[in-house]
Amino acid sequence: MEIDLSRRVAAEFFGTFWLVFGGCGSAILAAAFPGLGIGFLGVSFAFGLTVLTMAYAVGHISGGHFNPAVTAGLWAAGRCESRDVIPYVIAQLVGAILAAAALWAIASGKPGWIAGGFASNGFDDLSPGKYGLAACLITELLATFFFLFIIVGTTSKGAAAGFAGIPIGLALTLIHLVTIPVTNTSVNPARSTGPALFAGGPYIGQLWLFWVAPIIGALVAGLLARWMYEQEAIIETTVIEERRVS
């Protein structure tokens, strides 16, 4: 029985809220805390843990996208209905923006707090390592490509059942470990949009890159994965048909 759209959209909202609140929150509230800062290693694991936990909490309801680029890539891979794309993306954006608003309300409660980049993404002067536009574009394209490729592969029929959340969460952790110095890691347009709206100014001006690059990377990965796993789907269909005949 298919789960109704309202519950699937709610799952995407809560999953994306948790990703931004937990991942960006670790950077805004915990990474630089005097004497107890978790650093970018801790932030990387925080993002991975948000996806890992919500994949098991609500992944069975909505598919556990929590990311407009993932939704686009899974659509290209034939894993997401066209009618679900816009409702999912809207839910993801609302979840990300409200999570960023909650983080702002919490963080601003500390006397003398300065927002700075507010865990936003950027290139050139807004890149943590001052990387240029081309380097950041390539980084986001490749990182999102492999993230989506891992998602499709680990959720395919031939993969170990029930364990997809672990490699997906670890993949996001690895992506952050590599790319935080370059772009502060996006691979997720919703995650980028929420904090950028509160950081304002140039961060909003550079937001386009963190929509374009992740979505292109995810679409390419989705199309490639669709081709790679097409034979698997054919074999599975043939086996079912043979069992019916016998």
Q: What is the pLDDT of residues 119-159, one digit of tens each?
A: 999 999 999 999 999 999 999 999 999 999 999 999 988 77
Quick one: pLDDT at residue 240? 34
- One-letter amino acid at 165 equals G
Residue 32: which pLDDT band, with cuts at 50, 70 and 90? low
Burial class (CB in 10 A: 0-12, 13-18, 19+), 68: buried
Q: How far apart (Å, rounded) are the C-alpha atoms in residues 246 and 242?
A: 6
What is the domain-level CATH number for residue 41? 1.20.1080.10
Q: How far apart (Å, rounded) are the C-alpha atoms in residues 191 and 67?
A: 8
Quick one: pLDDT at residue 232? 55
Residue 231: which pLDDT band, with cuts at 50, 70 and 90? low
How many CB atoms are closer than 10 A to CB 13? 23
Nearest to 54 by CA among 96, 99, 12: 12
Average pLDDT value for the chain: 91
Residue with tokens 């990474």: 31
pLDDT of 33 strictly over 80 = no
Residue 22 sits in which domain range?
5-245
Quick one: pLDDT at residue 228? 87
How many domains is the chain built from?
A: 1
